[in-house]
Chain A
Amino acid sequence: MSAGVDLSQFYETFFDEADELLADMEQILLNVDIDHPDPDQLNAIFRAAHSIKGGAGTFGCFGLLADTTHLLENLLDALRQGELSLRKDMIDLFLETKDVLTEQVAAYRNSQEPDQQAYERICAQLRELALEHKGEAAQPGVPAAATEAASSVRAVAVEAEVGVLADAVGAANVAGAANVAAAGADLPLLVRIERIQPNDAKALLTEMGLLGEVLHHEEGADTLSVWLRTTCSADDLEAVCCFIVNADQVHVAPEAAPAGAVREAAPSEPEADSVGADAAEASGAARAPEAGHPLQAAPASKSDSPARPAADAARKPAKEGGTLRVGVEKVDQIINLVGELVITQAMLVQTASTLDPVEHDRLLNGIEQLERNARDLQESVMSIRMMPMDYVFSRFPRVVRESASKLGKQIRLTTRGQATELDKSLIERIIDPLTHLVRNSLDHGIETPEKRIAAGKDPEGHLTLSAQHSGGQIIIEVSDDGAGLSRERILNKAMQQGFPVNENTPDDELWQLIFAPGFSTAEKVTDISGRGVGMDVVRRNIQGMGGHIQLSSRAGQGTTTRIVLPLTLAILDGMTVQAGEEVFILPLSNVSESIQPTAEQLHSISEGDRVLHVRGEYLPLIALHEVFDVQGAQTEITRSIAVILQAEESRFALLVDHLVGQQQVVVKNLEANYRKIPGISAATILGDGSVALIVDVFALLRMTRNKTA
């Protein structure tokens, strides 16, 4: 995304995606086997956190969300790497984190700041887990002595606190075994720092805020006292403070906060003995709790917490029903049903066309209306599956940033056509190939600033991602203004690796080698790319989606990779052709033209193999009826029609009897009940209810090549 673009228009997409990811994360967390976690699941949770963090980071204005996910991501990464083993309490904590994240997303969605306290609390817990991971030794934190020291009066306060925590936080969340070691952990920790500079005091206070919830703080002339509700151990707090002051200036001990202070009221003397009484006072009610009913104090000491659920409740209804999450199968089912409807409607039209228009005026009008409605319905149903390309593009600013700094390059990324829509199934499958192409451009395409300056170019390289619709297809381009492909290097490498090339091989053919398995020109393998696997996979993926990939490059000026894909896999623009009595569908995207061959254009090469000479080009001739063994087809070539088809980089002519017409067809999988048929990609149902087979143009070419080979 280039600078200056208003990112806010993409917020909704991000929120939806984040919600979806969080929901997934929750599902996985709930299903994960704690003792034997599936690495795939751990990876999936990690990726979810990573994606949310990446998105939040990209927009740059969801700080809390990015920070929280960052902490989560680190932990998940450790889990994923096996540095940390999964425990029940971690799952609990992660689930709680997920809830907090969901609230944060909801808050941002309503243009509000998320709950700062929830954020701090959860971050403190995550940090603690991270610390536990980093320094297992430092663990047994809260000294048992603290518990012993607790007087009976204080016990009341403790109990009250427990009540608070149970309500506000959910009793089970913290749960780290060491953590609960002492009931004193539920007491706020008092951090008292002596001989401190005023500036440092402020810094320390901020630091404490990050570690937990600051219940109250007092600043003296050169002392700072902070009552902190935190899950960090006393040792950890000391360790943090030591960044700013000396260890001997710091004293940490569990101690109840001055009761009034919980509401940030005027501080009272935090004397242990008076705490119970103060707490009772704070309850503000006439029925002061007695030792026998300690929990009655709870509602009072809660002070700030009751406000929160109320705020939540108020916030919720603000924006509801923006989107609806529906299973893909349901949508597919609707698409299938609409496909059926369109077929039935076509059948009606066919039948009705025989009726007398005067006599059946109203019926015919109705059928016409039905036709229109059915088409509109089909279009809107198809649009449900469509998603903007931004879903894909939005992940690249990060990729570019990270790779650029790793490679020491300066790279500016521009994306165009983010709003271009593509079928969901395709959009998910395009991510990997596109990431690969981007990485390739970053790694091999764009030069280092020094080289660029030497070549008289702007030191900042420029990478452009664009998407646009063009005649029922989507064109996605990755272009850079880098060094371009080196003809010499590819040629040398190709000859070394025994590819059939020589000095006279045209550029286009040479560039195609990049997509050959095992071919890499990179002089060194980096962790970003260059292993020579990939480009062939990219091409295979793209072909698997019914698309194709082209490459153009000019030395010194850059490389452009262009991916052409159909908009959807569910519907295909087809050309209906006939051979004998049988009807076949050719994907329109492969058809470039059709001609009636003349005797002069025909040339025989070897036995039975013929070529068609069209405007200086010799095209191999394939007869549809021969490939599919059709009886009663036209065998006189000059009386058939030659449809010129484009498959990958080669073109050939397919002989058919007639062209029937062009139409959109609903693609039906053949493998569901049968199996793959050579030369056929799928089937469809025609207006008369019969099944027609869709020709796989690429396979057709391969089949005939193998036959001749």
Chain B
Amino acid sequence: MLNKVDLSSEQADDTGKEFLVFTLANQEYGIDILKVQEIRGYDSQSVTRIANVPSFIKGVTNLRGVIVPIVDMRIKFNLENVEYNHQTVVVILNLASRVVGVVVDGVSDVLMLQPAQISAAPQFGTAFSTEYLTGIGTVGERMLILVDIEKLMTSSEMALVEQAALV
């Protein structure tokens, strides 16, 4: 039942690793903080819609002169209660020399996880396919689902990268 925890891409040393914690439908997720460029409030006015693309691609926005696509994770993973309020934020990620914005319900924390706090990912029960999970982090009573955000964002199902374009 248990997957091997993939630590190969993580520095499994004593210092542990820092994760940015965000929430999607009351579940907390963690992503490698080194992939995060910045966090911004979501302003639907500043997002230009793109025609004929999947609905989870909200459009493109101007981030200090750089055109950045915005993806709504909640729509992508068919979560309920997709609403945009003052808590809705965009996590700007810097992945493989690309910049992508991800809309989430909120950002709560930055946590340091020791390798001992990370266990293998479950096979089901999360919005993400296990393919993109690196494990489960435990901090006190809280459970974090750790996501390989780079793998997810460059995957063909996100349709963000040219080679995956089948349109």
A positions within 8 Å CB-CB of B: 336-337, 339-340, 343, 582, 627-630, 668-680, 683, 685, 689-693
**Would you call B165 and A676 a contact (CB within 8 A)?**
yes
CB distance from A174 to the nearest CB of B (A): 47
Flag whether B87 is at the interface (Cβ < 8 A).
no
A685 to B99, CA, bound (A): 17
**Would you call A675 and B161 a contact (CB within 8 A)?**
yes
**Would you call B99 and A677 a contact (CB within 8 A)?**
no
Q: Which residues of B contact A630 (CB under 8 A)?
A: 51
Q: Which residues of B contact A582 (CB under 8 A)?
A: 48-49
A685 touches which of B52, B65, B100 (Cβ 8 Å): B65
Specify the chain B residue showing the minimal Cβ separation from A675. B162
A692 to B167, CA, bound (A): 21
Query: Which range contains the number of B residues in contact with the other chain?
Result: 20 to 34
* Contacts beyond the supplied A669-B67, A672-B98, A676-B162: 15 A-B pairs with Cβ under 8 Å: A337-B65, A340-B64, A630-B51, A668-B65, A673-B98, A674-B68, A675-B161, A675-B162, A677-B51, A677-B52, A679-B51, A689-B62, A690-B48, A691-B48, A692-B48
10 A-B contacts, Cβ less than 8 Å apart?
A630-B51, A669-B67, A670-B67, A672-B67, A675-B159, A675-B160, A676-B165, A677-B53, A683-B67, A685-B65
**Would you call A674 and B65 a contact (CB within 8 A)?**
no
CB distance from B152 to the nearest CB of A (A): 16
CB distance from A445 to the nearest CB of B (A): 41
Q: 0/1 per residue, B61-99, Cβ < 8 Å to A? A: 110111111000000000000000000000000000011
Within 8 A of A (CB), among B13-53: 45-53
Flag whether B113 is at the interface (Cβ < 8 A).
no
Q: A678-B167, A691-B61 are in contact. Are A673 and B48 (CB under 8 A)?
A: no
Q: A683-B67, A690-B45, A691-B67 are in contact. Are A674 and B52 (CB under 8 A)?
A: no
A513 to B46, CA, bound (A): 46
A676 to B69, CA, bound (A): 12
**Would you call B66 and A629 a contact (CB within 8 A)?**
no
Q: A672-B66, A673-B98, A689-B46 are in contact. Are A629 and B165 (CB under 8 A)?
A: no
A511 to B64, CA, bound (A): 47
Specify the chain A residue showing the minimal Cβ separation from B100. A673
**Would you call A629 and B52 a contact (CB within 8 A)?**
yes
Flag whether B60 is at the interface (Cβ < 8 A).
yes
Q: Which residues of A contact B45 (CB under 8 A)?
A: 690
**Would you call A340 and B60 a contact (CB within 8 A)?**
no
A470 to B26, CA, bound (A): 61
**Would you call A675 and B48 a contact (CB within 8 A)?**
no
* Max chain A C-beta neighbours (<10 A), residue from B62, B100, B159, B160: B62
Q: Which residues of A contact B51 (CB under 8 A)?
A: 627-630, 677, 679
* Max chain A C-beta neighbours (<10 A), residue from B48, B59, B160: B48
CB distance from B57 to the nearest CB of A (A): 8
**Would you call B61 and A336 a contact (CB within 8 A)?**
no
B67 touches which of A339, A673, A676 (Cβ 8 Å): A673
Specify the chain B residue showing the minimal Cβ separation from A680. B50
CB distance from A86 to the nearest CB of B (A): 35
CB distance from A495 to the nearest CB of B (A): 38
Q: Which residues of B contact A691 (CB under 8 A)?
A: 46-48, 59-62, 67
A628 touches which of B46, B47, B52, B162 (Cβ 8 Å): B52
**Would you call A690 and B62 a contact (CB within 8 A)?**
yes
A589 to B95, CA, bound (A): 36
Q: Which residues of A contact B65 (CB under 8 A)?
A: 336-337, 339-340, 343, 668, 685
**Would you call A673 and B66 a contact (CB within 8 A)?**
yes
Within 8 A of A (CB), among B151-167: 159-162, 165, 167
Q: A689-B46, A693-B50 are in contact. Are A673 and B69 (CB under 8 A)?
A: yes
Q: Which residues of B contact A673 (CB under 8 A)?
A: 66-69, 98-100
Q: Which residues of B contact A629 (CB under 8 A)?
A: 51-52
Q: Which residues of A contact B47 (CB under 8 A)?
A: 691
Specify the chain B residue showing the minimal Cβ separation from A689. B62
A671 to B160, CA, bound (A): 10
**Would you call A683 and B167 a contact (CB within 8 A)?**
no
A627 to B50, CA, bound (A): 11
CB distance from A526 to the nearest CB of B (A): 40
A340 to B68, CA, bound (A): 15
Q: Which residues of A contact B162 (CB under 8 A)?
A: 671, 675-676
Q: Which residues of A contact B100 (CB under 8 A)?
A: 673
CB distance from B64 to the nearest CB of A (A): 7
* Max chain B C-beta neighbours (<10 A), residue from A668, A674, A685, A693: A674
Specify the chain B residue showing the minimal Cβ separation from A670. B67
Specify the chain A residue showing the minimal Cβ separation from B51. A628
CB distance from A664 to the nearest CB of B (A): 16
